[in-house]
Amino acid sequence: MPGIGFGTLGNVGDAGCALVEAALAEGYRYIDTSRYYGNEEAVGKALARSSVPRGDIWVTTKLLHPRTPPQPDLALELEKSLRLLQTDYVDLLLIHWPPADENFDSAIDSLCAAQSSGLARAIGVSNFTIPLMKRAAKRAALPLINNQVEFHPLLDQSRVREEAEKLGIVLSAYSPLGRGAVLKDPTVVEVAKRLGRPPSEVALRWIVQQGVVAVPMTTKKENAKSNMRIFDFELSPADMAKLTEASKQNRRLISPTGWAPKWD
């Protein structure tokens, strides 16, 4: 899995397609989408139009597992995603939010079946807490390689990262700039000014330097280009420590009623 991905939330229709094409041309090789985003079709058109070979692109999509009956046929839902994405497989399939307790095991079983069928090369989860992550890993007949969670310098997810590592699960960070709030944080701004870097690059660098995959979302080509520059520098141990301390503010920004679990 590449160290940085291109998040597509909010990028829909022809404009979304063009932005994904531009991201691929800029060097992104990880495209992250979801059925919930309503843009799998736009992403699929971009993949088809791009000169980058499909085999060089890591495509992740996420499927919701409703918390009330009737439960979906995950295989059929994934096949629909593949048609929209114009591809025979996804590199990573995630369950977008934790299923209800009574549906938990069957959801994980269906996820593993998707990989066994070859429709998904790898599988994982999203928004799973430490107990849910452990339960999923224990239930799964195949390795879960990823848990995509809210992760940025305003939210301490160190315990989740440490437990994920023990389970062989890599974290990926959605909303890595905290919906813009990170860009105004005094600590992030101070480090950025001293290094002569945009706050966005400093925040993303802090994430990837911990072994977490950053998946920033943007609707602007210039921001997409800037985000790719995070591999041009490293943060010192002192700056990493400052940003980690800032994360103890624990400003969780995404917690939808009815879907969000009891957070760690």
- Cβ atoms of 47 and 76 closer than 8 Å: no
Contacts 24+ apart (CB under 8 A), 218-224: 218/7, 219/10, 219/11, 219/15, 219/19, 221/19, 221/22, 221/26, 224/6, 224/19, 224/22, 224/23, 224/26, 224/28
Directed axis angle between helix 74-85 and helix 104-116, to 10°? 50
28 is catalytic: no
Burial of 259 (0-12, 13-18, 19+ CB in 10 A): middle
Q: Which of 36, 37, 89, 174 is catalytic?
A: 37
Residues annotated catalytic, as ranges: 37
